[in-house]
Amino acid sequence: MQRLRNEAYFLAYAAVTKYAAQSRFYRGIWTFYKIAMLKIKNINTFYGQAQALKNVSLHLTEGEIVTLIGANGAGKTTLLNSLSGVVPPRSGEILFNNVPINNLAVHQIVRMGISQVPEGRQVFKPISVEDNLELGAYLHHKMLGGGDEVKKNKEMVYDLFPLLRERRKQLAGTLSGGEQQMLAIGRAFMARPKLMLLDEPSMGLAPIITQEIFRVIENLSKEKKQRFCWLNKTRGRL
């Protein structure tokens, strides 16, 4: 209740102050008071007896693009895998739209609206581009009980990545690295996620392909009809 009162006070003040909403300072306050879509509270993740994450906390609000930067072995992939349920944390809490998810199975987390684009793309190489996309919509198709929405989503992916439309009957394993990355993102998008996790989306790609992929990510994040929260991971040093 206190948070809601604080948010109401801010909205009232912004309405009275003509240029408050355009001010960087007040935009910062507004971001602070927005309810986070994802809240990670002091999670600890292990591989056997080896601890990979120690008391990690993070929050993301709707429409944000957040990038994790760190050296190899810093725990970036582990954090994404903890969020998606691949490697559940042993302690701490993960809230997605205020619902705890750290004890849910992977398919349950996907059903709630979280999709992951894994490192190395991991497309299904022996089958076609179109079949890869349809596999990404498997849970979505089961929930809706029909294929109309799946077809609509597939057309949206083709609009985002026109190259995939041209190669829809081509085997995924014959695509270039950049085309496979587009396919991996498109496959994740087919589940209509609210949060998308991208692991090394630019790894091994030509700069022009990297720019195209991040252009699509930025445009999707700004799209009013479908809001996203993106957690992107890349290599680097702090």
Q: How do residues 166-219 score in pLDDT, each as one tens digit?
A: 999 999 999 988 889 889 999 998 888 888 898 887 777 778 878 887 887 777
Q: Is the pLDDT of residue 155 over 70?
A: yes
Q: Answer whether residue 2 is part of any domain.
A: no
Average pLDDT, the chain: 79
Domain residues for 157?
Answer: 38-235
**N- to C-terminal Cα separation, the chain:** 38
Split into its structural domains, the chain has a count of 1
Which amino acid appears at position 221 of this protein? S
Q: Answer whether residue 22 is part of any domain.
A: no
Q: Is the pLDDT of residue 224 over 70?
A: no
Q: Answer whether residue 13 is part of any domain.
A: no
Three-class SS state of 83: helix
Tokens, residue 97: 């739209």
The set of long-range contacts for 157-160, using a CB threshold of 8 Å and a minimum separation of 24, is 157/133, 157/186, 157/189, 157/190, 160/186, 160/189, 160/216, 160/220
Predicted model pTM: 0.75
Instruction: Identify the pLDDT of residue 223.
Output: 65
User: Which of 16, 85, 90 shows the shortest CA–CA distance to 47?
Assistant: 90
Q: For residues 130-137, give the mean pLDDT.
A: 91
Q: Is the pLDDT of residue 88 over 90?
A: yes
Q: For residues 129-143, give the mean pLDDT.
A: 82
CATH value at residue 94: 3.40.50.300
Instruction: Identify the pLDDT of residue 238.
Output: 38
Per-residue pLDDT band at 220 (split at 50, 70, 90):
confident
Instruction: Identify the pLDDT of residue 9.
Output: 40
**81 Cβ contact partners less than 8 Å away, ≥ 6 residues apart:** 45, 87, 116
Instruction: Identify the pLDDT of residue 19.
Output: 42
Instruction: Identify the pLDDT of residue 71.
Output: 82
Q: For residues 54-58, give the mean pLDDT.
A: 94
